[in-house]
Chains A and B, each alone.
Chain A
């Protein structure tokens, strides 16, 4: 496993949840310190699963320590449209707004699943271990969520 590569991904994951560059990077480093301080698995997927487990737990802890109640309907992990980083993509602004609105209609868990699988390219067995559900259930869920997003987007574009 290439740790430097995973650093970027864990950072992305934390940024996705926290929307704060500084906090995301602090927590990323904490994740790696803890990961390196523990004994390693031989299996790469188990290692990866452990990395995400630490990241997720630190994320919850972060919210808890700041006494922000992280309710499931909260949308802090919906990507921002106008962030300067979003410049230079081939998507038009309207496309992005449409997608964003569609994502907004999902639950936090659904958004996280999409993010892990399609943005961070986390292998399905790792996701299945992380959520304690079968691989088959991961595939099924992903398919259903994608379908949901597509239907939403098409409906909006028709308007």
Chain B
């Protein structure tokens, strides 16, 4: 599997949010780093087909990202999401399973599996509005995993998770990344240190560095800072 962006650009009236980015994502976990406002969310929305690029293309094995086939293999966790007020955690997942086109029996089975996987357990039968930030985020993660997506795009997935939940999330992602394309964005560098196979660093809409990252090859934090700063000097 290959998710390829070719000179991808998204321009708004007075700002270029994503500026001629070209890259290819393959199986494994890719971390997308950048400060707030660097254009990470816009890039992810482009990769999910939610925004239409001003110019350039995104394709996955030749499928256009606006196609139904692509959405079928896509799992997406937006940075910000809500829920219908009457939903319990389980209702939420069953609803998303329906929108993803899972038959009822698959939806029921998969929902129970995911509730266990993200550790919601009995809370799944409670209303989402009673959830803590971390629980709601875990629900969002479970939703992205419905339908066994081959491409998983998560925008700030660790936001709101407590340290223990973070560790659990890392283990989960490391397992998922083995045979899927996983793209995570974060501005917290340490989230990626042990799970990312590749890194992309964004600044002001541009891709300033991309490459392999091997855990244990020094400190990611200082690497990231050096990249961001070397850009300033140029």
Contacts and interface: CB of A to CB of B under 8 A. Distances in A.
Nearest to B73: A38
A39 B62 contact: no
A59 to B, nearest CB: 9
Contact of B69 (A37, A50, A60, A61): A50
B62 A38 contact: no
A94 interface: no
A56 interface: yes
Contacts of B101: 39
A53 B72 contact: no
Contacts of B89: none
B181 to A, nearest CB: 14
Interface residues of B, number: 10
Nearest to B60: A57
B85 to A, nearest CB: 31
Nearest to A56: B62
Given A39-B101, A39-B147, A54 B72 contact: no
Interface residues of A, number: 12
B188 interface: no
Interface in A52-70: 53-54, 56-58, 60-61
Contact of B72 (A39, A58, A61): A39
Interface string A36-58: 01110000000000100110111
B147 A57 contact: no
Interface string A7-42: 000000000000000000000000000100111000
B73 A53 contact: no
A122 B73 CA distance: 26
Interface of B: 2, 61-63, 69, 72-73, 101, 147, 150
19 contacts: A34-B61, A37-B150, A38-B72, A38-B73, A39-B101, A39-B147, A50-B69, A53-B69, A54-B61, A54-B62, A56-B62, A57-B61, A57-B63, A58-B61, A58-B62, A60-B62, A61-B2, A61-B61, A61-B62
